[in-house]
């Protein structure tokens, strides 16, 4: 289901920008932000979100996570972080995150288990 640009607040966009900015880095916090975005984008395939990750976040990132969770909760059922959300504003960034993660996983030795 589509969630149009007029249905997403500036505060929600700012929160998503914070999460994407962190998710595109390579730190523990990045992984925590990335996992939340992946869980929304395609939780069945990429895994759910471990809420114990919240304990390790700085306040500003935690606020971005909570704002995003509120956004997900109030969105129409079937709203995903894809081309139908907010005019596709985040679709390209989401796909780039997934592609980068896939390339990283492919570079690992095949004997090591890995999680998204």
Coil vs helix vs strand at 94:
helix
pLDDT the model gives residue 113 = 60
Q: Looking at the DSSP assignment, which residues form a beta bridge with residue 85?
A: 3
What is the pTM for the complete model shown?
0.83
The CA distance from 13 to 103, in Å, is 28
User: What distance in Å separates the CA atoms of residue 32 and residue 50, rounded to the nearest whole number?
Assistant: 9
Give per-residue pLDDT as tens, 37-84.
Answer: 999 988 888 778 899 999 999 999 999 999 999 999 998 888 888 777
Which residue, among 48, 47, 54, 46, has the nearest Cα to 28 in the 3D structure?
54
DSSP structure string for 97-112: HHHHHHHHHHHS-TTS
């Amino acid at each position: 289901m589509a969630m149009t640009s007029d249905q997403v607040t500036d505060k929600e966009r700012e929160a998503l920008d914070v999460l994407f900015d962190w998710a595109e880095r390579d730190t523990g916090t990045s992984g925590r932000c990335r996992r939340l975005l992946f869980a929304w984008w395609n939780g069945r395939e990429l895994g759910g979100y471990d809420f114990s990750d919240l304990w390790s976040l700085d306040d500003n990132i935690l606020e971005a996570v909570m704002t995003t969770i509120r956004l997900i909760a109030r969105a129409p059922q079937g709203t995903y972080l894809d081309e139908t959300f907010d005019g596709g504003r985040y679709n390209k960034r989401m796909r780039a995150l997934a592609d980068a993660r896939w390339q990283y996983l492919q570079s690992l030795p095949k004997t090591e288990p890995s999680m998204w």
